[in-house]
Amino acid sequence: MEENKKTTATQESETVEKKEKVKEEFNVDKLSEKECKKLLKSLIKENEEVNASLEKAEEEAKSNKESWYRTAADFENFKKRNQDTRINAYRDGKIDVITKLLVIGDSLDRALSMELDEKTKAGIELTARQFEETLASEGVTSINPVGETFDPNTSEAIMKMPANEGEVEGTVKQVFLKGYKMGERVIRYAQVVVVG
């Protein structure tokens, strides 16, 4: 209770001080009642303008803060998309180069299927083995579905042959051209003959 009295007394004291300050500043004692009212209206109007300006500045600050958050989020999204784009571009470029090099492996396989002297055959086998090891080091594996059920996700049927005794329809009988995949992505489909 006493604390409330002290607070009220303090407030009254401050109000009196403010009135005295305004009187001194504007020399109110020398103004007529009409001039005092005019001054009061002017001060009220000025106070309203200041409050309106403050509200506008607060709204602009809030809007700018929200805009900054959106811009920061957009930039983070851009960085992630850009990183994904770079990774995909690198991977796709790597696949393009490897795909072009697969022709060399095809030539080595054809050379090994020919009649060769022992030294030549040993040299080609060594080269073919190094070629396969290089592909493996890049995560590339060959697709060789002989004897398996034909899978259009990894192979391309280029011919159908009637089934011989003991052969199951729909299985791969022969591979004309090896297929390859990098991870789970097929980079070249195997060209196969299917039992049908």
**Distance of alpha carbon 70 from alpha carbon 72, whole angstroms:** 5
> Residue 181 belongs to a domain with what CATH number?
2.30.22.10
pLDDT in tens, 121-131: 999 999 999 99
Domain count, the chain: 1
Predicted TM-score (pTM) of this structure: 0.58
**Distance of alpha carbon 101 from alpha carbon 94, whole angstroms:** 11
What is the predicted pLDDT for the residue at 166?
82
Q: Does the residue 83 lie in any domain?
A: no
* Residue 179: domain span: 141-196
pLDDT surpasses 90 at 32:
no
What is the predicted pLDDT for the residue at 140?
95
The residue-averaged pLDDT of 154-180 equals 91
